[in-house]
Amino acid sequence: MEDIVEAFIADLCGKENFRYLKESNAAKIKQEFGYDVPVDKSSRRYDYVIDNGKELFIVETNFYGGGGSKLNSTAGEYRNLFDVLEGKFKFIWITDGLVWRNTTRPLRETFDYNDYLFNLTMLENGILEYVFK
């Protein structure tokens, strides 16, 4: 999933001359981009961080092929992370997988709470370009 999402991010950043980092923690973000990003846990590593020259976007991504408690846990974690970022940084969660067809409650709760929650079809349809306009 990370490789698929990176193709979209790399394409967008190449076209728009944005900078991005993969698998970055708060220290690396500070070093590379100069932003002080709060974290909800000391080991937090973000999948992607995009600097468009005006603001910082933090992207987490995952794919679920099967069910389990991890879905609820991740959805709750990303609602909490949205709060930790305090609106100072844009947070995007990109998730997909057949499991979401039957496990809609945690997905819906996060969709209603966070500003950006996307799936692969939305990426294919150009949602990232819309967000960065």
pTM: 0.93
Tens of pLDDT, residue by residue over 35-54, are: 999 988 878 999 999 999 99
Q: Give the count of alpha carbons within 13 A of 124, CB side only.
A: 5
Residue ranges per domain, the chain?
A: 2-131
DSSP-based three-state secondary structure for 54: coil
Tell me which residue of 63, 127, 71 sits closest to 96, measured CA to CA: 63
What DSSP character marks residue 69? T
pLDDT for 68: 66
CATH topology (fold) of 2-131: Trna Endonuclease; Chain: A, domain 1 (3.40.1350)
Tell me which residue of 37, 39, 33, 31 sits closest to 20, measured CA to CA: 33
**How many beta carbons lie within 10 A of that of residue 86, not counting itself?**
8
pLDDT for 72: 82
- Using an 8 Å Cβ cutoff, are 35 and 53 in contact? no
The stretches in the chain having pLDDT less than 50 are none
